[in-house]
Amino acid sequence: MARMIPCEDGDPIELADLIEALNDDAFDPGDEEGFAAMAPLLRRLAGNRDFLAGLAVAELKDRCARQSLENRYSAQVIMLHRASEKYFIRANFWPSPQDSVVRNSGLAPFFYHVPHDHNFSFLTVGYLGPGYWSEYYEYDYEKVVGFPGEPVGLRYVETSRLEPGKVMLYRAHRDVHNQLPADSLSVSINIMEASNRLPFLSQYRFDVKSCQIAGILTRSATEALLALAAHQGGGNARDLLERFAAHHPCDRIQFAALREMAIAAPDVDTGLDILARGTGSPVRLVAEMSRQEMNRLQAGRDWIEGRPVSAGA
Ligand SMILES: [Fe+2]
C-alpha cells in the first residue's frame, strides 16, 4: 500500500514554512526518501487549524483569481501553491454519500470506485474529517506493457482510511488504490510531484476483480492535437504524424499517431493497412494497441460504410 510515514507531533507551521523547505534545491520529489523526509513538515502544517480557512477567505476576497489561473482540477480541489516546476500543493475535499453534492451529482466526479495508480508520487495528510477510505494494492510496473485487458499481478494489501494527521506517500507506478467515500466530509492536503515528463508517463485504471488494466487515464495535449492534425493538417501534418508514429520516445504517442492516421484515412481498408504496420512494431504497446484498434475498426465497418448494422452487432 502507499507508504505510511509515522510522524511525531510537532508545533504547527505556516504554509510558507513548508514552501520554504520544498523550494530548497536539494528537494527532489522523484527521490522516495527525499520526499518521505518532508512528511513531518506536512504533518505539522496539518496541525495548523486556521491556514486553510484563511486561504479560502483570501481567495474569495480576490474572486478566486489564483484558482482560475493555476487550478486545473474541479471544485474538489483548492490549489494552495504552484510556483515551482518540481511540485505543487493542493487541498482535496472528499464528500460523503450523505452530502448534497454527492446526492445531486453522484460519486463519479470524485473519483470514487475507480481503482488507479498514479504517474507521479505525492505525499498526503488527513486534515479534516474521518478521511476517505481506500482499498490498497501494489503491482510491478516494470512487468507491465500497459494496454487495456493486460493481466496485472495486483496484490491486495489492506483497506484503511486517511485519518487526521496520518501521512502517506503514494509512490508513482507502484501503489494502486480504490478510493471509497469518506464517512463524512473530509479534507486532505497533498504535496504533488510535478514534471514536464508526466504527460508521457501513463496512469492506469484497473479492474481489481480480474486483475487487469481497464484503461489508460493519461490524456495529453499531444494526443488531442494529433487528432486535429490528422484531419486538418495536410501534407505537413502527415509528415509529423508519420515521424511521431515511427520515432516518438513515448510509446503511447507513437500509437496515437498511427490511430489518428487510421481514423482520418479515406476508407476502412486504408485505415486497417496503417494499423497493420503498427502490429509489426517492436514496441509491444504499439503492436497490441494496433491489434485492438484493428478489431474495433473491423467491428464497426458496416456502420462506418453506411450499411445496415445487423441485429446484435
Ligand atoms: Fe489516487
**Each residue's pLDDT tens digit, 74-130:** 888 999 999 888 999 999 999 999 999 999 999 989 999 999 999 999 999 999 999
Compute the distance from residue 177 Cα to the ligand 1 centre, in Å: 6
What is the grid cell recorded at 312?
A: 446484435
Residue 10 within any structural domain of the chain:
yes
Q: Do 188 and 239 belong together in one domain?
A: no
Question: Residue 154's domain spans which residues?
Answer: 3-216
CB atoms within 10 A of CB 98: 11
Amino acid at 115: P
Q: Do 287 and 186 belong together in one domain?
A: no
Compute the distance from residue 172 Cα to the ligand 1 centre, in Å: 10
Residue 45 within any structural domain of the chain:
yes
Q: Taken in order 216, 220, 224, 227, is the CA torsion positive or negative?
A: negative
Q: Do 189 and 233 belong together in one domain?
A: no
Compute the distance from residue 132 Cα to the ligand 1 centre, in Å: 11
pTM: predicted TM-score of the whole model, two decimal places? 0.92
Compute the distance from residue 117 Cα to the ligand 1 centre, in Å: 6
Residue 310 within any structural domain of the chain:
no
pLDDT at 166: 97
Residue 17 within any structural domain of the chain:
yes
Residue 237 within any structural domain of the chain:
yes
Compute the distance from residue 287 Cα to the ligand 1 centre, in Å: 29
- What is the average pLDDT value for the chain, to the nearest integer? 94
Q: Do 155 and 34 belong together in one domain?
A: yes
Contact 193, 166 (CB under 8 A): no
Asked whether residue 312 carries a pLDDT value surpassing 70, the answer given is: no
User: Helix axis angle, 234-247 relative to 251-264, nearest 10°?
Assistant: 140
Closest CA to 174 of 149, 144, 210, 216: 144
Asked whether residue 49 carries a pLDDT value surpassing 90, the answer given is: yes
pLDDT tens across 25-43, in order? 999 999 999 999 999 999 9
Asked whether residue 313 carries a pLDDT value surpassing 80, the answer given is: no
In the chain, the number of structural domains is 2
Compute the distance from residue 138 Cα to the ligand 1 centre, in Å: 13
* Cα maximum dimension of the chain: 71
Residue 312 within any structural domain of the chain:
no
Compute the distance from residue 258 Cα to the ligand 1 centre, in Å: 30
Distance CA(257)–CA(233), nearest Å, equals: 13
Q: Measured between alpha carbons, how far is residue 24 from residues 19, 21, 41 in Å?
A: 9, 6, 14
Compute the distance from residue 35 Cα to the ligand 1 centre, in Å: 17
What is the grid cell recorded at 160?
A: 484503511
pLDDT at 309: 75
Q: Do 55 and 112 belong together in one domain?
A: yes
Residue 73 within any structural domain of the chain:
yes
Asked whether residue 45 carries a pLDDT value surpassing 80, the answer given is: yes
- What percent of the chain is predicted at pLDDT more than 90? 87
Compute the distance from residue 239 Cα to the ligand 1 centre, in Å: 38
Compute the distance from residue 165 Cα to the ligand 1 centre, in Å: 18
pLDDT tens across 254-271, in order? 999 999 999 999 999 999
Asked whether residue 310 carries a pLDDT value surpassing 70, the answer given is: no
- What percent of the chain is predicted at pLDDT more than 70? 98
At CA 8, angle to CA 5 and CA 11, rounded to 5?
Answer: 125
Compute the distance from residue 118 Cα to the ligand 1 centre, in Å: 6
Q: How confident is the model over 221-238, as a mean pLDDT? A: 92
pLDDT at 12: 97
Q: What are phi and psi of 44, to 5 degrees?
A: -70, -35
Q: Do 75 and 143 belong together in one domain?
A: yes
Compute the distance from residue 225 Cα to the ligand 1 centre, in Å: 27
Q: What are phi and psi of 225, to 5 degrees?
A: -70, -30
Three-state SS string across the chain, please?
A: CCEECCCCCCCCCCHHHHHHHHCCCCCCCCCHHHHHCCHHHHHHHHCCCCHHHHHHHHHHHCCCHHHHHHCCCCCCEEEEECCCCCEEEEEEEECCCCCHHHHHHCCHHHCCCCCECCCCCEEEEEEECCCCEEEEEECCHHHCCCCCCCECCCEEEEEEECCECCEEEECCCCEEEEEECCCCCEEEEEEEECCCCHHHCCCEEEECCCCEEEEECCCCHHHHHHHHHHHHCHHHHHHHHHHHHHHCCCHHHHHHHHHHHHHHCCCHHHHHHHHHHHHCCCCHHHHHHHHHHHHHHHHCHHHHCCCCCCCCC
Which of 130-134, 146-150, 172-176, 195-199 has the weakest average pLDDT? 195-199
Compute the distance from residue 93 Cα to the ligand 1 centre, in Å: 13
Compute the distance from residue 60 Cα to the ligand 1 centre, in Å: 28
Q: Do 64 and 184 belong together in one domain?
A: yes
Q: Do 268 and 160 belong together in one domain?
A: no
Compute the distance from residue 119 Cα to the ligand 1 centre, in Å: 10
Provide Rg for the chain, Cα atoms.
22
Q: Do 170 and 254 belong together in one domain?
A: no
Compute the distance from residue 80 Cα to the ligand 1 centre, in Å: 18
Residue 308 within any structural domain of the chain:
no
Residue with grid cell 476508407, as numbered in its chain:
267
Q: How confident is the model over 157-179, as a mean pLDDT? A: 97
Distance CA(223)–CA(267), nearest Å, equals: 22
Compute the distance from residue 133 Cα to the ligand 1 centre, in Å: 11
pLDDT at 95: 96
Q: Do 45 and 164 belong together in one domain?
A: yes
148, 181, 216 - which closes a domain? 216
Compute the distance from residue 139 Cα to the ligand 1 centre, in Å: 15
pLDDT at 78: 94
Domain of residue 207, CATH code: 2.60.120.10
Q: How confident is the model over 40-68, as a mean pLDDT? A: 94
169, 201, 216 - which closes a domain? 216
Compute the distance from residue 203 Cα to the ligand 1 centre, in Å: 10
Q: How confident is the model over 216-239, as a mean pLDDT? A: 92
216, 238, 259 - which closes a domain? 216
Compute the distance from residue 170 Cα to the ligand 1 centre, in Å: 8
Q: Do 142 and 260 belong together in one domain?
A: no
Long-range contacts of 241-247 (CB under 8 A, 24+ apart): 245/278
Q: Do 94 and 204 belong together in one domain?
A: yes
Compute the distance from residue 209 Cα to the ligand 1 centre, in Å: 18
pLDDT at 285: 98
Distance CA(105)–CA(112), nearest Å, equals: 12
